[in-house]
Amino acid sequence: MKVRRVVTGQDARGKAVFVSDESVDPITLSQFPGLEFHRLWGADATPDLPTSGTPLQSRYFPPAGGFRFIVFTLPPESTARPADIDAAAALQELTEKLPGMAEVMEPDHPGMHTTNTVDFGVLLSGEIWLELDDGAEVHLKEGDTVIQNGTRHAWHNRGGKPAVVVGGIIGATRRG
């Protein structure tokens, strides 16, 4: 899926202008068909205004004070995956395409991860299950929202079609 991104900013005189209007291709991973990540916007620190409209982000998850605007698509768990998954190649591809993602993932519990962020999500389409510690789950449907406060979690799509989530991620400081 392509996502249209329209960005505004200010010119040298302070006038509001459209900086860009473009289609953003998803980041995909060859070992996980149907999984898509759109990194639409972000910065690693609080931005100053006025701004030229240029995003400043490095890693997938922001540091404290940073933020991200994303869309991700999770295919149904029934989606066929390559029979001969090369774990080393998959890890390398993940590290290159989504810097910082592999560092938070738990190898012994696929999909489970913990980040130092507060995440806001809206399920645009499909259905998805949010798993927390000890297998506690909630089933989310189209239009449902979730606020993820730096807790250990995983996403599962047990439905029959892709689940599309739009989200904001804000970097936080963990104090314990």
User: What is this structure's pTM?
Assistant: 0.91
Each of the 176 residues of the chain gets a pLDDT tens digit; together they read 899 999 998 888 889 999 899 999 999 999 899 999 999 999 999 888 877 677 767 899 999 999 999 999 999 998 887 778 888 888 899 999 999 999 999 989 989 999 999 999 999 999 999 999 999 999 999 999 999 999 999 999 999 999 999 999 999 999 97
In CATH, what number does 25-171 get? Answer: 2.60.120.10
Q: How many CB atoms lie within 10 A of CB 96?
A: 9
DSSP-assigned states of every residue in 8-68? EEE-TT--EEEEEEEEEPPEE-TTSTT-EEEEEEEESSPPPSS--S--B--SSSPPTT-EE
Q: Which long-range contacts (CB under 8 A, 24 or more apart) does 43-50 make?
A: 43/67, 44/171, 49/10, 50/9, 50/10, 50/14
